[in-house]
Structures are given as C-alpha cells and as structure tokens.
Amino acid sequence: MADIINLLPDNIANQIAAGEVIQRPASAVKELLENAVDAGATEIQLIIRDAGKELIQVIDNGKGMSETDARMCFERHATSKIKTIDDLFQIRTMGFRGEALASIAAVAQVELKTRMHNAELGTYLEIDNSVIKKQEPCQTAEGTSIAMKNLFFNVPARRNFLKSNAAEMRHVVDEFIRVAMAFPQIQFSLNSNSQNLFYLEKGSLKQRIIAILGQHYNARLVSVKESTDYMDVHGFVGKPETAKKTRGDQFFFVNNRFIKSPYLHHAIMNAFAEMIPADSYPLYVLFIDLDPAHVDINVHPTKQEIKFDDEKVMYAFVQAAVKHALAQFNITPTLDFELDPGIQQLDAVSKPFTEQQQAKSVNTSLYKSFTQANQAHTIDTNNSNLRHWKDLYEIGKSAPDTGSRAPREESPVSSTPVSSSLSGGFESRSSTASMIDERWQDTTIDQKVPVQVHQQYILSQIKSGFILIDQQAAHERILYERYQRALQDSPVPTQQSLFPQTLPLLPADAALITEMLPELQVLGYDLEPFGNNTFVVRGTPADIQSGNEQASIEGLLEQFKNFSTELKVNRREQLVRSMARNNAIPAGKSLSTREMQNIIDELFACSMPNAAPGGKYTYISFKLADLAKMFGA
C-alpha cells in the first residue's frame, strides 16, 4: 500500500500559518510596528494605501539588520528572542515567535531595506509568495523600511472577505493607537493615502493620551499609581463625566503589551459603580507591570489574550488602585466630618444652658414623652395645640365628597364575613356585585383606553380579547420601517439645532461616521466634518429629543459596532437596524395614553407588525376563550 502522508511545501505551510497571524491589514500593521519597537527605534512612520490592501509600509530608525539577518527573518520560527525554553517564560519584548514576517511574506509582495548603524551599505530584499526574487546591497538610511504590497494577492478568497476600506482603516487605526499609547517615549506618525492622520511627538503618557484622544481630556484625567512586591499599576482613568455610551477609550497593557481582559474590565466597572450609568464605559489607560513568570502571553496568535497565574489578586489590586485614585482626587462621594463654622454661632452652642432653663425643659410634655417609660406615644389632650384635632376629624368625616372619584372605603368584598359570603349563596354574590357596580358607575374610565404595565408593556383591548405589546420592540419596528422608507424615497425630517454642537470622536469612530455620512444625512442627521476627528452636529432626526444629540450619535455608533445577526446584511441594513434599536423607546419609560395609542396605531400600520427587525415578537394576543379555560370556565 502506498504512503499517503507528505510534508507540505514551505510556501503552502506559510500561507496556512498566515491565516492565524495575518487576518486583515491591521494584523500586519500590529506585527510590523511591534518589530520596529523591538528594534529600539525612537521614530516610527506608518504609511497606508487603500486601507492597507495596496500598501503597508513601516519605516523606523532602529538598529537595523545585517545581510544574513535580513534573509533569515523571513524564515518560519526564526527569532533572536528565544534560545532556551526558559526564555519563553521571561519574555519582555513584543514579538518572539518568529512567525510574523514569514506569514506576511506568504500572502503579500514584500520589499525590505535595512542598514545597521555601523555599516556603509544596507541590504535590499524583494520577496514574492515566500520566494526571494532579489537580494542586493543598497544605499538606505539607518534602520529598517519594510513595505508589503497587494495583501492576499495570492489568496483571492481571503481578500474577498475583507471589509470596506473605512472598516479596515478603523482596525488599522486601532492597532496603531494601541502601540503608540504603550510607548509615549517614541515618536509615531500615520499617513493614509497621502494624508497625515497622526503625528505624535515624544512625551509623557498623559501627553500621549491627550494627543490621541483629544485636548478635552486635559483636565479630566485622574492619575493611578500603586506598587507592591508582586505587581505595579500606573496610568490614568477619566473622571465620571468622561464616561461614554460607546467603547473604545479602554486600554489595558501588561508589560507594555496591549491586552483584552473582560475580567479586569469588570474590576474597573466595579470601581466606578454608582458614579456612572450602568450602560456607560469609563476612560482608562492602565499599565500593569509584573514578573513575566506570572503571566502566559503565548495563548493566542495575536498575543492579545493572556493568562495570569493568580487572576483574583490581579482583579482585587486593579479595583483597589482605581478606587484609591478616585478617592484621593475627591471623585468618590465622601462624608464631611468638619463642623460648619456657622453652627458655632448658634445660641444652643455659644450660650450656657442655665439651671432655670433646665427645670423649664424637664416639665414639658415633650421631655416626659422621651424620658418616662412607655410614654413615647402619649398625646397630651390638654395641649391647646391638639385640642381641635378631633373637631377637624369629625368635619372631614361628615363632609360630602364633591370630587369625581368615589370616597376611599373598604372593599365590600373584604368587609363581608367569610361565613356569610359562603352561606348566602347567589343572593350574597349578586348583592356584592351590585355594590361593586355602584362603586364604579361614577368613574369616567373608558375600557378601550390602553394601559401601561410595569412601564414596559402596553395592554390594549380588542374584540376577541386583548393584546400585550412590548413597547420597545414595537417602537423599534415602527422606526425601522420609517428609516427604510427614508432611504428609498422620503428622507427623515431634520430638526436643526439652535446651537450646533461639536462632537469629538475616536479616530476609528470618526472613520466609521465619515463612511456613513450619506446615509446618515438621509436619515435626518446633519453632520459636518470639522477636522481632527471632530464633527459639527447641526441637526438630528425630528423625533429625537433636543439636547440629546451627542448621546444619540454615540448610542448609534455603539449599536452599529456591536451589531450581531446570524444573517449577513449589508451596511445600509445594519445602519437602519442599529438606528431603530438605538432610538426606540426603552423599557422603563412611562408613556401617556396618547403616546401608547400612537404606538398601537403606527405598529399595525406597518407591513410586518408582529416582529421587531431582529425577530423579537412585538405583541402577544390573548383570546377570551383561552382566558376562560385558564379560569376553569
């Protein structure tokens, strides 16, 4: 029988490995920037064309590579970081596995120029599909310049799965910010399609945060700094007023490596408990430094998910550090034990309590009620202040009721003795029913008026029984169809703001909004780019409450970025669904009778009133026959 197991050729093996490391242009950006940092660079330049699909180039002034190293760095598992197994548990560099450049060379056309500081000439390499096409000496600046062109040119299926340029650029900016935030002592710049998006000078961590996230954070950052023998935590958190409805201003770094940790994020949220709304996210940029032996960073190809040997200690320490920082800067509520100077001027404090005053106080009924046994509820009937209470009560009891509502009295049903209600048969039941009817005869309640249940559902009577409407799901369906019609032929009316607001956004969010501007304008948003990732909000859809413009756009962004569905929908559909979900009346909001009736009327005017866009039921009907069965009739 012939053998059937063979070794894969290197180029195919590299392409398979590249699927784990290089998933999109942003993945290559991360690896190339981290290599530049490891090379000891003090200036790093990132150049992007066509959101990285056409070109990703990183230029640094690091130590460069020799001719042999330049050739070897593209081999799989070729690394200068690990020589023994013990080195794997003492990693302090960004890259160490030797897979990044080999993976990049397997799915792109690569050009490398590098020169060491003490060398007269550098090395030029040209690689195509893991095959070296050219290697020769060249004149180049000290450091390394690596350019990868036409990403996934040889894997068309993977290239087809890439998102739009705006979406991919958002991921590229995210990776750039994460590396730049971790190393404020390095100068970074980002150029996209010949446009400078970032130029970050060397400086302190606070200066880097402000340069990336915006000048408006300058006076709103709280310093965090705690040290123990086990670990150190330092960085900044934002004051409660900086909390946003959208994620994006949250950064955790472990030994200068960006990580994603829902567990530690929960610790921060607990530290901010009761200071920010439950659906908001605080700003934080926190660095955790600890012995690499206590952390395993080799659990995920992107190294963004790591494991700690004692997560509970990490959780408690991070939470305590943030709470301490907020308390130090008087952010958390505190008790003020200092006496008000004005109290010292009161007679009760400044003047002596004479014996005559003491004797007078002892004889009062108020004093006796608190000093004599069982006298706490004593009422002095001789007190002139209480003398007329009985008359007032008698007047109130005998006064006729002039209001439209019946006087409040005990229910006839509850006041009837149990024995008589059981022995009286139909006669007692009919008399009780007539008393209840008389009680409600004078009311003006219309039985068909909708009723709100627990500020979440709307109960409405129909001929065959009644329906129970989910107010949020129903309003979401109404808005969804309204926005769909707007995109087709009838734009949503815009409510112009009396005072236009400026809306600063994260660079990634600004790129997303820029991509969606045409659709947003049709849907009623009047936005205009204002430079430096800022927009001017001149108007919002007419059905959005005035003054709520920023929260509306931030909520829309959050819904859009975290939109999930089993079906693959286009960007317009995703935007319409996100906008309907964000602007729908939430559960817990009290509605007037007119508002409830409007929801009912508009819901049943929809083309598909029975379900929200995501598939959730908008209402459930209850028939009289079914109700009778429930009661055993």
Min mean pLDDT across 296-305, 556-565, 610-619 is at 296-305
* Contact predicate 422/557, CB 8 Å: no
Coil, strand, or helix at residue 534? Answer: strand
User: What is the CATH architecture assignment of 211-328?
Assistant: 2-Layer Sandwich (3.30)
The residues, ordered by sequence, that sit 6+ positions from 59 with a Cβ below 8 Å of its Cβ are 44, 45, 47, 143, 144, 145
Reported in sequence order, the residue ranges of 436-565 that DSSP labels E, i.e. its strands, are: 451-453, 457-462, 465-470, 494-504, 526-531, 534-541
What are the φ and ψ backbone dihedral angles of 315, each rounded to 5 degrees? -60, -50
The listed range with the strongest mean pLDDT (114-128, 336-350, 578-592) is 114-128
The residues, ordered by sequence, that sit 6+ positions from 319 with a Cβ below 8 Å of its Cβ are 267, 268, 270, 271
pLDDT (0 to 100) of residue 562: 66
Cα end-to-end distance, the chain, whole Å: 78
**H/E segment holding residue 138:** strand 131-138
Q: What is the pLDDT of residues 150-180, one digit of tens each?
A: 988 888 878 888 887 878 888 899 999 999 9
- Please indicate whether residue 357 or residue 84 has the higher confidence score (pLDDT): 357
Of 101, 103, 102, 81, the residue nearest 93 (C-alpha): 81
In angstroms, the Cα distances linking 555 to 479, 579, 582, 584 are 15, 9, 6, 11
Q: Reply yes or no on whether the pLDDT at 603 is more than 80.
A: yes
What does the pLDDT average to over 453-480? 91
User: What is the band of 459 on the pLDDT scale with cuts at 50, 70, 90?
Assistant: very high
pLDDT (0 to 100) of residue 233: 93
* Contact predicate 93/118, CB 8 Å: no
* Contact predicate 503/493, CB 8 Å: no
Min mean pLDDT across 114-128, 250-264, 273-287, 563-577 is at 563-577
Q: Where does CATH 3.30.1370.100 sit in the chain?
A: 457-622
Angle at which helices 100-107 and 25-38 cross, to 10°:
140
User: What is the CATH architecture assignment of 10-200?
Assistant: 2-Layer Sandwich (3.30)
pLDDT (0 to 100) of residue 41: 93
Is CATH 3.30.1370.100 what the domain over 457-622 is classified as, yes or no?
yes
User: What is the band of 201 on the pLDDT scale with cuts at 50, 70, 90?
Assistant: very high
Q: What is the pLDDT of residues 377-386, one digit of tens each?
A: 555 555 555 5
* Contact predicate 456/588, CB 8 Å: yes
Angle at 453 between CA 451 and CA 455, to 5 degrees: 110
Token digits for 496? 């112009």
pLDDT (0 to 100) of residue 77: 61
Per-residue burial over 207-240, b = 16 or more CB atoms within 10 Å of its CB, e = otherwise: ebbbbbbbeebeeebbebeeeeeebebbbbbbbb
What does the pLDDT average to over 358-363? 73
The Cβ-side half-sphere exposure at 23, using a 13 Å CA radius, reads 9
Per-residue burial over 510-527, b = 16 or more CB atoms within 10 Å of its CB, e = otherwise: bbbbebbeebbbbbbbbb
Q: Average per-residue pLDDT in the chain?
A: 77
Task: List, in sequence order, every residue forming a beta bridge with 235; answer none if it has no partner.
Answer: 224, 286
The residues, ordered by sequence, that sit 6+ positions from 166 with a Cβ below 8 Å of its Cβ are 51, 511, 512, 514, 515
* Model pTM score: 0.62
Q: Where does CATH 3.30.565.10 sit in the chain?
A: 10-200
pLDDT (0 to 100) of residue 147: 94
Q: Where does CATH 3.30.230.10 sit in the chain?
A: 211-328
d(CA 76, CA 103): 8
Min mean pLDDT across 47-51, 334-338, 450-454, 583-587 is at 334-338
Token digits for 544? 């959005």
What are the φ and ψ backbone dihedral angles of 632, each rounded to 5 degrees? 75, 20
What does the pLDDT average to over 389-401? 51
d(CA 111, CA 74): 12
Q: What is the pLDDT of residues 6-28, one digit of tens each?
A: 776 766 666 565 555 688 899 89
- Please indicate whether residue 375 or residue 48 has the higher confidence score (pLDDT): 48
* DSSP sequence for 328-394: HTT-S-----SPPGGGGGSHHHHS---HHHHHHHHTSHHHHHHHSTT-TT---TT-TTTTTHHHHHH
